[in-house]
Amino acid sequence: MIIPAFDIIKSRVVRLYQGNYSKITYYDIDLYHNLQYYSKKGVKIIHLVDLDGAQNSKNKQFKFFKKIISYNIIPIQIGGGIRKEKDIDQLLTLGAKRVIIGSSVIENKNEVKKWISIYGSDSIVLALDINIDDYNNKNILIHGWQKKTNITLEEILNFFSDTELKHILCTDISRDGTLLGPNIPLYIDICKNFKHLNIQSSGGIRSLNDIFNLKDTGVKNIIIGRGLLENKFTIEEALKCWQSE
């Protein structure tokens, strides 16, 4: 399905260029009205990211997201700075459909396994932000892309193979916020080798043709941020592309 995305800094909708907090674009939009509009058009879920929390878990915008979730307009998956079980408890109790786990997948992976067991496979999304090097190693970055690791995408997915993990959000950071197009070979590879997972693609969507191409890779969901925010195409057009055979 198509999942519109909104990144939030200090309660405002923004986009970062390749995760760089010094390259911020602010959008003068009303998130509440956008959620209403997308719901009426048939969007099934919204993707929200707390960039303040992602940069520093002590700065989570919990009050703002509590307000947004309380509207009960449309199901929401939300992430950014989720480090502890109580963070998941709070968001799910408020009514979030899914909670997105990022850095803890690397730094506290055994605990994340426990969370999947406790909250169920449909309540947890593992967000894996990757940098692909010259040797095609898909190395994971954490803490809002501020910290590089030597752990690969495949290593992490194999580590969680003995759980009921269902949802994976994979972002090629070289494409995020760039409108350069998605990394099609990446998603073909992931979907081929991890068929049991529901892959969410993210990064670079610039045209309706990108949606057609991603659909053919086998991804279950396409997260779109800047392309919709900057009216490269409409949500109606995006949904039609996804639904067409």
The answer to whether the beta carbons of residues 90 and 138 sit under 8 Å apart is no
- Tell me how far apart the alpha carbons of residues 207 and 51 are, in angstroms, rounded to a whole number: 25
Q: d(Cα 172, Cα 9) in Å, to the nearest integer?
A: 21
Given the residues 50, 52, 129, 210, select the one marked as catalytic. Answer: 129
Note the helical H segments in the chain: 31-41, 51-55, 62-70, 85-94, 104-107, 109-119, 153-159, 184-193, 208-215, 226-229, 235-243
H/E/C letters for each residue in 67-86? HHHHCCCCCEEEECCCCCHH
Dist. CA 148–CA 106, nearest whole Å: 11
Q: Is the dihedral of CA 131, 137, 140, 146 positive or negative?
A: negative
Whether residue 7 lies in the annotated active site:
yes
87 is an active site residue: no
Q: Judge contact between 88 and 111, C-beta under 8 A.
A: no
Q: Which residues are catalytic?
A: 7, 129
